[in-house]
Structure 1
């Protein structure tokens, strides 16, 4: 997973952020969730690039090939990191943020509107989680997911995260699942990496900030949600709630049947079929750029 061909870096205060670029055209920046790497977009990135975009897949601070030892790992920090990547690429750009990066994409769009032309949030944590005691009792997948996330937050054990991933991919696991999982586990065992993910879990204050800034977003927004996502008691209700907090007519959501928390890796073609028409509608479309 380290020293991937084509890795580029942008220096920001406190360290450096790694990313890889494929394709040519208007920039689209893909940002993963915590305890993951930019390799999570190994299937989706080529599909977007083939449609005429320059796609930059980013490693979060403390993850993948990005540096460790940062003083903070919040949604605000990640929004700033993504903005610096866009500046280096030459923006404005579309940000695609999954899970933890959904809140970061919201903050980046609200605070740097000149850099962000649209946002796509995949199974995002853009609001503080809405705990449901009823779902915890009745929904075994939601209950198991919550318990595994809580255990990982406390222990940082890679084995626990692997159990969570097995649950979070309820549909079609990628053909390279075994080799990909082994590489991710090896990366997480490097010094400082699980600690970074644990700190991201605890950054609830900036998740509240992300929710508050949904009303300040002025660019088009799309939420893509796996219908079997165990992180939420009702995935579709969560998607609808996020869209409902945006200014009128700026957002919509799409559900991916059978997918869990990682639809872009489980069903990349289905996610591309939702994302590409959305991209084509705005000023970020290749056909609308000089």
Structure 2
């Protein structure tokens, strides 16, 4: 465990909520830090292979769930081989083009078992995953956003679908789910309630992180959990979602959707905090502790480094 005094993972339970590449980095770090790890994954994707499978079979979009499972694969030959198999995308020019093998495997198990959680658990057993992956809800949903300036004017435009929300230009004013009260995954609720640590972010703020706060029962569990909540801020604003956002703006957006959320720690990258004072004020007003650390990749890309994240997580939790 990088940055810890020894290599024994902490005997604590952690739950990480999010989706996509941000959650992948966080899980890749957390599996080095804690023994009991659960990923709770947003299920609103409507693009690519996931969108096609969702449309054809009426299932949850499997893509972000697949990525979370791949992140939990071990560093040995077995784990890394299966991670590559899970992430493999078919080429060619036919109907299989662009499909991920992992997506197909997950949907096949869902069809055979008739149950989302059981299917994901079976994939995790095959991979010898270092943790459990759960959907945040049990029914597919769409993200709907109100965007100002999407058509070059100050009028509000309604945008439907995760891909469309993430790519429509303009200022994102608000987001909601359709249906507005999807059934939360019971196992995810239990994981959040009984966790020692609950992590929100990093990831696409309005389409991967905030959706967890829009599922009524999951939001209630996040507000009421006795676990310590860590918010991991993005390295920069994301074009189409959080263009021009400062670190404190990301925090404010969370409280806009769950003002009663209790936060223990806010983790930010040192290079991304140009002026620390506004963020320090925002964190202090939330009654939380600010940790600023070097957690970015060294190649200059706006991505979190899993090894550096593991060091930061170990110091916060240890």
Kindly name which structure, 1 or 2, has the bigger radius of gyration based on alpha carbons: 2
Query: Structure 1 or 2: larger helix share?
Result: 1
- Fold conserved between structures, TM > 0.5: no
TM-score, normalised via structure 1 length: 0.36
